[in-house]
Amino acid sequence: MSTVNLISTLSCPYCGHRKTETMPTDACQWFYECEQCHEVLRPQPGDCCVFCSYGSVPCPPIQAGNGSHCGSR
């Protein structure tokens, strides 16, 4: 079994700003405000959270193979 990485670098598609964040393990993160341009990022169609859309590492449930998205039951 592989280890789940909780650190991901989010890249803003509007201004290119990058910020390393710790991903939550108990909830999806559907919104993220870029600290540089203040645009609110939302998941792209088909993605479950901002980390899957804009992060360097997908969210913990995707990494662990627990369903097709972080909201899977």
Q: What are phi and psi of 63, to 5 degrees?
A: -60, -40
* Residue 30: predicted pLDDT: 93
Sign of CA dihedral 45, 8, 65, 33: negative
Domain count, the chain: 1
Q: Is residue 72 one of the residues assigned to a domain?
A: no
pLDDT in tens, the chain (73 residues): 578 899 999 999 999 999 999 999 878 899 999 999 999 999 999 999 999 999 999 999 888 886 555 654 3
Q: Domain span at residue 40?
A: 7-64
Asked whether residue 41 is domain-assigned, the answer is yes
Task: Compute the chain's Rg from CA coordinates.
Answer: 12
pLDDT score of 67: 58
Give the per-residue pLDDT at 68: 57
Residue 70 counted as domain residue: no
pLDDT of residue 15: 98
In a domain, 71, yes or no: no
Length of the chain: 73
**Is residue 48 assigned to a domain?**
yes
